[in-house]
Every structure is written in C-alpha cells, then in structure tokens.
Structure 1
C-alpha cells in the first residue's frame, strides 16, 4: 500500500469520547512581576484548537476522511467555539449538551515557543442521562460508519464504553480504543486498543524488557478478546501484537521532538483511517508511526494531511542521501554538506508541468553552489494558489520528474502557501527565485541573510510557462 495514494473515498469514521477546547495565550516576556517571582506575559494572540477526542476528529478531517464526532459539552461559549472550529474543518458534530457542566477547556500560556503554565477547567460528573444520550447517538450513527474510535481521556463521556463497543460489534464496525485508567476490562471485545507504555504498565506492571512487554501484551490481548494491541513506547517506537502473528516492531519515525501534545490522537486517527482502506494492521501502524513522527516536530496539537503523509511514505522508499527526501531527511543532509564546506542552494515552486525554462533555471541555480534543494508545493497548496483545476500532475509525479534532473540533489515538499517555515527549518546558504522578484519581496530572504547566506534572483527563459502550456492544450 505504501506505493499508492491514500484513498478514503466511501469511508466515514465515527469518533466518540472526551472533547475539549485547547486554548493558547501567546505573548512575550520581558520582566518579572513585582507582585510575585513570576514572569509577566503580555498576551498578543489567543488561539483556540480542538483537543482530546475533538483533535482525533480534526486529524481525520485533515486526512480527508468524512468524520462524525460525539461528545459531551457544556451550554457555554467554549462549546460554541469548539464546534465552530470543527465545523470549519468539515467535522460533523453530534454533541450531547450538559447544562450543569462546563466544556472541558485547557488553557496554556506560551512565550517564545515555551509553555509556562497550563490551567484546566473541567468537572468530571457525567450523569446517567448523558451516558444514555451518548449511547443513543452512537447506536443511530453506527450503521453508516466504516470504523469507530473511542478516545478516552477519563473525563466521563465513555463511562458506558463497554456498551458502545458491544453496539459496534453488533453493527460489524471495527472499533479502535485510545484507553485511560486502571481497568482495561471495560474495553473488552474492541478491535484494537492503543495504550502508551505508561498506560500499559499501569495494567500489567512494570516491564524490565521487550520480552516482558511481549508476554504480558499477548496475555492481555487474549484476555480481553482484542484482535490487536498496539503499545506506543515514545522514543523506543511501537510494538503491534496481533492475533496469530509475531510481534510487529517499528522504530520511532520522529527526528526531532518539539511537542508531543496530541501525538496519541494522531496515531489512533491514522490507524483507523488506513485500516479502513487496507484492512491490515501493519499498514495502519506503519502510517501512524510516520504521522506521529511528523506532528511531534510541531508546536501544540498538530495534524497531518493525506498528501503530506503520502509524500513521507514515498520519500522513505528512495535513497537516504539523494533524490526525494522528507524535510527532516533533507535537514540532516544539509547539516552534513555544510559541515563538509559545501554551499547549499534552495529554490521552490509548483513545477506542475516541467518545461525547458525550468531545466535552464535549475542549471543556473545549481551553478551557485554545490548542492541544490528544490521544494515543491503539495497538491493542496497548489490548489490554494492556482485554483481547483490545478495541479495537473500530483505531488509524487512532480517530485519524481524533478528527481530525474541531474542538477537537482534533493527534492522535498511543503504544505503551506509559502516555504517560509521550511526555509527557517533548513537555513540554506543561497536562496534562489526566478522571475521579477526583488530581494526584499522573496519569502525567507530575511532569514537566510540574517544567518550569513545570500539571496539571488534568476531570469526564467522567455516563452515558457506552465500556464501557457495549459492554455495551449485547452485551446486545441
């Protein structure tokens, strides 16, 4: 499956669990309070993001999977903010409103990319009324679903999870559980359960080595009738225990860990989505591992698109030193090249239909240094820039063609509208753009110059452009 596109057409996943609002206050710190020995943060930006089970649903929506979310919220403004953020991303919300409870909210104060404090607003007092209402919604929705995810944060929404799993089994819908607590018997009969190592050892006791993890995992899986048990072990990777098969181990895909917030949500979302397509747990775990490696390199709760995930898997099948590489792999190659005294050149573009102008431009760019990186807009990024009919060629095809040009050493990608974040991550020695740009209008120029690099503007060969080619084809 790793050689083909992720395709979630015809799938629909139900997420049930503890929804919450992650609120971030961002600001600078320049002094200590005269009232107490604490930093004063001047808040300049307030950001709201879906958290908990809502982040799982958001992750599925970002992947392009139709998703419905069931959870319990209060009758308050935070519930409205949460639902608005989810609906904007395409999530269908089926919330149970509990007027006596607040919407669970976690407030984080961030300064200079560091979290200073977290404040939680919650009451774990769900009643039988809410539990019954959740079960009623799930029973109504299950027949149309390809899978269901139970995202348990021990906040009360999944008090009746045993009944919900039974409903899923009766409907023939596979269930994926992200568990919490010290009693896993409530998840009996689930398709796959995904604890992290701490959650797993809370149930089975401290494990001295992998052999003990394996023995206790197999026993636990058999005891509760799960088809599969996935234990995530942080920097030690993941281990899948599947009925009738040898353990499947993967090393962590993370290159840099910036923030682990929401990584578990990403894993369970990708697990369920890929399993719906391939029906193989090993495929699902492989993709989930790569997705987790991507999001832990981002600040806060991050998501990954299907295109980015597909590109990561595509890059993994290529040479580890040249050709199509992930941004993280390219960063390592740049570090090695610069350590050897080599000058690294960076350029970017859509490169939808490669033409002689592009080829000449690449040769000029390569002549400015020793190694050339070409960063390509993902399909979603091209659509935002060029319109819904573009690109003509998808990301993997565009990267494969560029890879074949002798002037190019590395091809990578970015999902944003501009390559600014990627340029800041890679810090090339030379930044190159083609066309009528002035240096002060080139994205990333300030960063490169501030770090001792240079910025160059090259002229494209006249008479060639992808737009003209497309117009010519359309006119024939």
Structure 2
C-alpha cells in the first residue's frame, strides 16, 4: 500500500483481550463443565486500542488518547502497542484496573468469556478537559470515537471531540453504543452493527424495513454525512448523500468475528483520512473485515494480506493516489 501518510487519532475505552487456549477431553468431577488443559496464553489490544492497532497494522499512523490504568495489565497493553508503533497519549492516570476480557477456548471453540469491567463515572472523575487538551496538540487527519460505554466517551468528551474535529475540518467516525446516540450528533459517520442499529432506531429490520432504510433514517436523525451498518455475513450497507449501497461480505470462511467491527472502523477512518470516496471506504472495509474474521480472536490485517486479496486490484489506484 503506497498511499500518502495518514494519522488517525482514536479516543475511547481501551481494554486488554486475554486468550487461554487449550484442549478439553473430559468433564470436571466437581461440576458438569469441561476441564481445559492449557496449551498457551495470548494477550492482544482490545476496544479502542484494537482500532488503533488495526490502523498501525495497515501501515498508517495511529494515536490512542485514553486514560491510563494503574496496574500490570496496562503495562502489558502499553508494551503490545509500542511493538506495533501505536503512539499512546494518556492525559490522566486513573487509580483503577485496566479492563480485561478473558476468553477460554478449546478445540477452536470459545467455552466462556470472563470480563473484568470498570466504569469511569464522569460525576466523580471528569476527564473531558484532560482528553480535549491532548487532542488540541495533535495534528491528525481523522478522528475515531470508539465508545464501549465504559465511561471514557462522556457527553463532554463526545461533543468536545466532535467540535474539535469540525474546527480542524477533519472527519469523525463513531463506533457507537445505542444508549449514547444523542452524543454523536454532528459526527461525520457512525458504524453500528445490525443489533446496535435496531436499538438506535427502536425497531427491527424485516421485510417492511430494510437496513438501507434504517441507515438513511439514522443519517437524517443524527445529522451525519453517512451511516454504515455492518451486517455480519450479509456484508454492510452505506447511506450517504445520493448513495444507498449494499456491499456483500468478502469472507470465504468465518473463523471468529471478535474485533471485526474495530477493523471496519479503522478501515473507514483511514480511507476518509485519505479523502477517498464513501464507496471506496466501504469496499476497503469489506475487504479487511473479510480477512480478519478468518483469524482467531481480536486480530489485525497486514498490507501484504490486503495486497494479495483479489479485491485489492480495484482499490489499489485510489490508495496509490491515481484516482
């Protein structure tokens, strides 16, 4: 990928994804549950950190803006991001553990997920000024707001970040949580999955109400340039001005959908940061998502994998600056 440089700023909730991988051949004598004999463990960046990690994996510049945890798991997350050259700007250190999600797998199947969640209460700890102060120092081409409803993306952080980006004339991509929809008004685009979109709209998709119609309605209600709804193995839909397009999924084999939404967000962010058309942004996102779901767990896609994909030939001229 020979595109010009693009710097993506990511604001949001970070977490550490933990994988325990083993084999299960017997049930526990203590309870009707499998006994997993551990073969290996793996840690990967999750949440907003995974979005930034995907951007860096593509070969672009990523800056992660998020509160810093105060434990060994934050140190581990920071070490992982340093290896992929994600720049970390932590405006404040919070006296709370880093969010972790542990997945136990046997025979390539997830048996259970264990969450260590923490929530930032903005009534007790207002981090908005710290985050916006860091943003004001950044020279970014695009902003991503990655909201996992853990408290980083408060109402003040969301509105302040969107206003900052508008003042700079750069696009804002939101990975939303339905309960916070009013906070995203005025962003450039949001990327809910099917369930999130139905919750945002207050109705389900059926024969009388399609995802394309839903995306258009959300775009109008939230004053956005576009809305992209991801539909799993049905691909994604785009509603933009004068554009209503369904993009089929590209995956030949789906292994694990964990983190695929983060890959979509990172892909659209890079494309918009390069000032590419909406259609190209979504084609690029379907390509990368189709590659990442073929991998186990929260994963990224390399430029080599992208370039070896049959769909890349059609997109290559845009990223090379030829169109």
Q: What TM-score, normalized to structure 1?
A: 0.62
Name 1:339's counterpart in structure 2.
Answer: none
Name 2:77's counterpart in structure 1.
Answer: 82
Listed one character per residue, the Cα deviations across residues 13-63 of structure 1 (whole Å, up to 9, x for unaligned) are 111111100011122223222222222222232211000111111101110
CA RMSD of aligned residues (A): 1.8
Task: Find the aligned partners of 1:136 and 1:148 in 2 and give their Cα distance.
Answer: 15
Name 2:224's counterpart in structure 1.
Answer: 226
Paired residue secondary structure (1:140): coil
Paired residue secondary structure (1:203): helix
Name 2:319's counterpart in structure 1.
Answer: none
Name 1:285's counterpart in structure 2.
Answer: 282
Name 1:241's counterpart in structure 2.
Answer: 239
- State yes or no: 1:40 paired with 2:35: yes
Name 1:155's counterpart in structure 2.
Answer: 150
1:403-442 paired onto structure 2 within 5 Å: none
Task: Find the aligned partners of 1:315 and 1:189 in 2 and give their Cα distance.
Answer: 32
Name 1:188's counterpart in structure 2.
Answer: 185
Listed one character per residue, the Cα deviations across residues 220-263 of structure 1 (whole Å, up to 9, x for unaligned) are 212222111111111222110112x1301111112211110010
Q: 1:214 aligns with which of 196, 212, 215?
A: 212
Name 2:103's counterpart in structure 1.
Answer: 108
CA contact (8 A) 2:189 2:228 kept: yes
Unaligned runs of 5+ in 2: 315-323
CA contact (8 A) 2:193 2:231 kept: yes
Task: Find the aligned partners of 1:7 and 1:131 in 2 and give their Cα distance.
Answer: 36
CA contact (8 A) 1:19 1:73 kept: no
Task: Find the aligned partners of 2:10 and 2:76 in 1 and give their Cα distance.
Answer: 19
1:360-379 paired onto structure 2 within 5 Å: none
- State yes or no: 1:27 paired with 2:30: no
CA contact (8 A) 2:141 2:170 kept: yes
Name 1:250's counterpart in structure 2.
Answer: 247
The CA deviation at 1:315 is 6.4
Give the direction of change, closer, same or farther, for the CA distance of 1:7–1:211 in structure 2 (3 Å limit). Answer: farther
CA contact (8 A) 2:52 2:63 kept: yes
Task: Find the aligned partners of 1:313 and 1:274 in 2 and give their Cα distance.
Answer: 19
CA contact (8 A) 1:7 1:277 kept: no
1:32-181 paired onto structure 2 within 5 Å: 32-127=27-122, 128-141=125-138, 144-159=139-154, 160-181=157-178
The CA deviation at 1:316 is 6.6
Task: Find the aligned partners of 1:139 and 1:316 in 2 and give their Cα distance.
Answer: 38
Give the direction of change, closer, same or farther, for the CA distance of 1:178–1:315 in structure 2 (3 Å limit). Answer: closer
Q: 1:273 aligns with which of 270, 275, 297?
A: 270
Unaligned runs of 5+ in 1: 1-5, 318-476
CA contact (8 A) 1:18 1:71 kept: yes
Q: Which has the larger radius of gyration?
A: 1
Q: What TM-score, normalized to structure 2?
A: 0.90
Give the direction of change, closer, same or farther, for the CA distance of 1:278–1:162 in structure 2 (3 Å limit). Answer: closer
Task: Find the aligned partners of 2:310 and 2:173 in 1 and give their Cα distance.
Answer: 23
Runs of 4+ with >6 A deviation: none
Give the direction of change, closer, same or farther, for the CA distance of 1:293–1:210 in structure 2 (3 Å limit). Answer: farther
Q: RCO (CA 8 Å, sep 6+): is it higher in 1 or 2? A: 2
Paired residue secondary structure (2:134): helix
CA contact (8 A) 2:197 2:214 kept: no
